[in-house]
Amino acid sequence: MLHTLTLQLQNITIHLLNTHCRSKNIDSNIEKLYPPYFQLQDRAYIFVYSPAMIPHETIEIFSLLWWRSNIVTICIIFSLLMLGKWFNVKHREQLAKFIGIILIFRTIGIHFYWDYLGIWTIESSLPLHLCGLSAILSGIVLFFRKQWAYECLYFWGIPGAFHSLLTPEFTVGTSGFLFYEYYLSHGGIILSAIYLTWVLGMKPRQGSWLKIFISSQILLPFIVFINWIFNANYMYLCTKPIVNNPFLIGEWPWYILGIELAALLHFFIAYLPFAYLYRQIKVNERAKGVSV
């Protein structure tokens, strides 16, 4: 049954690509030009949106590999956070810069590594997913504490990286160091956002969750244009992720609405602790005013 479903999905994919190629006046005999785009692997489903893109892979949720990967990632994050909390102010700053250097080096170095593996493509390798943008910010904000950049990292990064660890999708495969780099990148996003907040004392401004959500919509037309030019799928605006996530409802374009609503909900949930904090501050200020 699963094999039959796989073949059906492969045929549908080939049909869609044939249609796309005919519209672009490209040889429409896709089957002869490229191998099947959809294959069933031992531990992952693989899908390619266009012939130039790298096959995507996933890990089965709650599998042994899934548990091991996430437990190790969480333990490293927790250890560095506790270490930062235990340090004095000077050493906290030094640890922040050390983490920042590692994350910035990863952000730049991974492109050279992709090129070395021969898998760097403009369709897959630009940092135009929200996690890619958050990964860039995760290292920079540890050095330059810009409030708007921190808020983007906090609201983009924590929910996005959380779901990336919960339902991993390896957009450039898992060969070589790529498997470990995935967890370094997404774990680093969460570590940086929480370190800035819990250890270094930064916090989102009042109402910032909604402002960041609205501002994020400005990115969408730009990403749509990039996808159209390069036949890519950044921010999954052309084809939904292959992971099994409850927020991915329906097919294109309806799943995009689900992602938007999920983002709004997650931004609000991430803001709730600070909403409570600001409310308590107002209550205390009123109490002081009455006592005076």
What is the total count of domains within the chain?
1
**Residue 93: pLDDT over 60:** yes
Residue 200, in any domain of the structure:
yes
Give bridge partners of residue 46 from the DSSP assignment. 39
Residue 201, in any domain of the structure:
yes
Residue 4, in any domain of the structure:
no
Residue 36, in any domain of the structure:
no
Give the residue carrying structure tokens 């190790």.
Answer: 72
Query: What is the C-alpha separation between 151 and 207, in angstroms, rounded?
Result: 11
- The predicted-structure confidence for 202-218, as pLDDT tens digits, reads as follows 999 999 999 999 999 99
Residue 176, in any domain of the structure:
yes
242 pLDDT tier (thresholds 50, 70, 90)? confident
The DSSP symbol for 233 reads: -
- The predicted-structure confidence for 110-152, as pLDDT tens digits, reads as follows 999 999 999 999 988 999 999 999 999 999 999 999 999 999 9
- How many whole angstroms from its chain centre is CA 50? 21
Structural domain boundaries enclosing 265: 61-291
Whole-model pTM: value is: 0.80
- Predicted pLDDT of residue 290: 65
- The predicted-structure confidence for 250-284, as pLDDT tens digits, reads as follows 888 888 998 999 999 999 999 999 999 999 888 87
Strand residues in 80-159 grouped as ranges (E) = none
Residue 126, in any domain of the structure:
yes
Mean pLDDT, all residues of the chain: 83
Residue 24, in any domain of the structure:
no
Residue 155, in any domain of the structure:
yes
